[in-house]
Amino acid sequence: MSSSLDVEKDTAAMNDPVDVLIIGAGASGAAVAWSLAETKMRIVCLEQGDWTKPSDFPSTGRDWEARAMEDYAISPNRRGLPADYPVNDDASPIKIANYNGVGGGTVFYAAHFPRLHPSDFRVRSLDGVADDWPVDYHTLEPFYELNDRMMGVSSLAGDPAYPEKKAMMPPIPMGRTGKTFGTAMNHLGWHWWPSDAAILTEDYDGRAACINLGQCGSGCAQGAKGATDVTYWQEALRSRVELRTQCRVSRIETNEAGMATGVFYFDADNKEVFQPAEIVIMACNGIGTPRILLNSASERFPNGLANSSGLVGRNLMLHPYAQMRGHFDEKMDGYRGAPICTWSMEFYETDLSREFLRGYSYQFSRGIGPVRTAITGMDDGLVPWGEGHHAAFRRLFDHSAGMVSICEDLPEEINRVTLDPQRCDSNGIPAAKIDYRLSDNTRRMLDHSVSRGIEILKAAGAHTITTKAPLPYAGWHLMGTARMGTDPRRSVVNEWGRSHDVKNLFIVDGSIFVTSGGVNPTSTIQALALYIADQIKSRIYELFD
């Protein structure tokens, strides 16, 4: 491949070339790095954040709940740490959540680990909406399985909502929450099942089992949660993949043949460096990836890199959530145990008798700690200021449980990521700007999930029920902004993750989702990353044809 670099005019330092350059060390970056390591190519990953220290995680301190709202807050705007870039989400009812560091979003995720369903890959054929995926469940199945083994997944085999899946270790404990809701679901005759969870219930692969800290959302100090810093990265580093932290990529450079030649990045000392590479793989998530592609606009690619379709940044899908919580006379699990518990796929598949297409899943969740009980109690008007505060607090604390619905968000081009004309990160790179609104279909789906959720809570014996739809601080599933497809006019990457326009540029993160499904996306993001890595390996001699 020609690499006539156009960097002389830049003052950036120049590194030695590498074979493969991965941008982003999160869920997908780790998986692709690990899979490609066996090729013995020279692989470097650039990550803007750093390694986490488990001993720093909030659950190791008395102020655990408070710290989860400060340096370990899920909003990058709230954290505002050096690793974070601002996201202008003022024009979205759903605010963005992420983690920027080795492990990416998996450092904070709840590890709820459902797969997409077979029907999710065929939404146009089955329901006449959006587009079919260029891959199907069957194609991804071995990669789902491999990923489960790498991340360490606990589950119970036999879920009738899925094709058969193997179980590696027992499911996470049912607890009082699971029992209460399971009994209610049985009463209603509705589906429920223990959630597949990337949480170890047994010691596995050198990692210790979950001890029910309940703090999965701000980092697992026990290492029981399958975050990629403790799973894929440990093996990838042993296989000599190089991971450079505190390195923020600003743009991808191309040559006159329209091939990527490498990337510019800012290192920990804010020095600009050029890293030449034969293959560039983007794994920066559904916001970080379009941000870099749009910021890589040049004379050759005036609308941003890989953007001849005009779809880079468009079709952002966030999975609107509704939250329904109730309070019980008897004590529940409270803050103990992984917040996730069981799921229901009762309303997952399209049912034409409902007033919306596609569907949603429920994720049942345990209780919350005292600080959050007080904050949400006051916010919901259940805990007053003054005299009555203490008695009201005690009625709620340790007595709540509930569920969220995860609604399928259909792709719409007006929901998008662009570059913010005003805000920049600490390196002067334009921030991401989100324009997002809920469709009528989604609103009807949210309403349906709230009504059914209330029915479930009542059947479970709950009182003092509160609902929020959409849940505002829940923009943690970032999908669709560089979709995959066979038609270069209607997609950004092809059916194996290669950019239609730039033949040595790949995308493996949540951006490439064609539709969102109604379940958490990470197991599918990683299965796709492994699948694309596999395609790269098997097509290595004709990769750029």
Ligand X SMILES: Cc1cc2nc3c(=O)[nH]c(=O)nc-3n(C[C@H](O)[C@H](O)[C@H](O)COP(=O)(O)OP(=O)(O)OC[C@H]3O[C@@H](n4cnc5c(N)ncnc54)[C@H](O)[C@@H]3O)c2cc1C
Judged by the rule CB under 6 A, the positions of this chain that interact with ligand SF4 are: 199, 210-216, 220, 222, 224-225, 338
CA–CA distances in Å: residue 232 to residues 5, 169, 448, 507: 33, 19, 39, 18
Decide whether 142 or 163 has the Cβ nearer to another protein: 163
Contacted entry of another protein, ligand X, ligand SF4, none for residue 233, CB cut-off 5 to 8 Å set by kind: none
> How far from 258 is each of 20, 22, 266, 500, 544, CA to CA, in Å?
17, 19, 24, 11, 12
* In 302-425, alpha helices (H): 370-379, 389-396
Q: Applying CB under 6 A, does 292 fall inside the site for ligand X?
A: yes
Binds 510: which of ligand X, ligand SF4, another protein, none (CB < 5-8 Å by kind): ligand X
Assess 520 for contact with ligand X (CB under 6 A): yes
Residue nearest to ligand X (CB): 26
Q: Which CB atom, from 208 or from 391, has the smaller least distance to ligand SF4? A: 208
Structure tokens at 361: 């899943």
Q: How far is the CB of 469 from ligand X (least distance, A)?
A: 18
Does position 343 interact with ligand X (CB under 6 A)? The reply is no
The minimum distance between CB 286 and ligand SF4, in angstroms, equals 25
Please state the closest distance from residue 216 (CB atom) to ligand SF4, in A.
3
Nearer to ligand SF4, 202 or 267 (CB): 202
Residue 270 Cα to chain centre, angstroms: 28
Torsion of CA 521, 483, 431, 105, to 10 degrees: 20
What angle do helix axes 522-538 and 27-37 make, rounded to 10 degrees? Answer: 30
Nearer to ligand SF4, 402 or 430 (CB): 402
Residue 108 phi, psi dihedral angles, 5° rounding: -105, -10
**492-518 b/e (C-beta count within 10 Å ≥ 16 → b):** bbbbbbbbbbbbbbbbbbbbbbbbbbb
Instruction: Please choose which of ligand X, ligand SF4, another protein, none residue 199 contacts, taking the beta carbon within 5 to 8 angstroms, the exact cut-off set by kind.
Output: ligand SF4
Site string for ligand X, 236-275 (x = CB under 6 A): ------------xx--------------------------
Give the whole-angstrom CA distance, residue 443 versus residue 528: 29
**Residue 93: what residue type?**
P
Nearer residue to another protein within complex by CB, 307 or 342: 342
Nearer to ligand X, 217 or 337 (CB): 217
Query: Which residue stretch of 2-10, 17-25, 368-376, 386-394 sits at the interface with ligand X (rule: CB under 6 A)?
Result: 17-25
User: In this chain, which stretch among 280-288, 306-314, 461-469, 498-506 interacts with ligand X, using CB under 6 A?
Assistant: 280-288
Task: Assess 47 for contact with ligand X (CB under 6 A).
Answer: yes
Q: Which stretch binds ligand X (CB under 6 A): 106-114, 122-130, 142-150, 449-457?
A: 106-114
For the bound state, the minimum distance from the C-beta of residue 489 to another protein, rounded and expressed in Å, comes to: 25
d(CA 137, CA 315): 22
Looking up tokens 């299965």, which residue turns up? 527
Query: Binder to ligand X among 73, 74, 116, 252 (CB under 6 A)?
Result: 74
What are the Cα distances from residue 525, in Å, to 105, 114, 128, 301, 395? 12, 11, 24, 27, 41
Sign of CA dihedral 305, 306, 308, 311: negative
Out of 26, 411, 480, 497, point to the residue binding ligand X (CB under 6 A).
Answer: 26
Nearer to ligand SF4, 213 or 249 (CB): 213
**Helix (H/G/I), strand (E/B), else coil: 416:** strand
Under the binding rule (CB under 6 A), the answer on residue 106 touching ligand X is: yes
Shortest reach from residue 211's CB to another protein, in Å: 3
Q: How far is the CB of 423 from ligand X (least distance, A)?
A: 15
Beta carbons within 8 Å of 237's beta carbon, 6+ residues apart:
243
65 binds ligand X (CB under 6 A): no
Sequence-distant (6+) residues with CB within 8 A of 27 are 103, 104, 105, 106, 228, 509, 522, 525, 526, 529
152 or 480: CB nearest ligand SF4:
152
Residue whose CB is nearest to ligand SF4 in the complex, by number = 213
CA-only gyration radius of the chain, Å? 23
Query: Rounded distance, CA 182 to CA 188, Å?
Result: 10
Binding residues for ligand X (CB under 6 A): 23-29, 46-49, 74, 97-101, 104-106, 108-112, 217, 248-249, 283-285, 288, 292, 476-477, 509-510, 520-522, 525
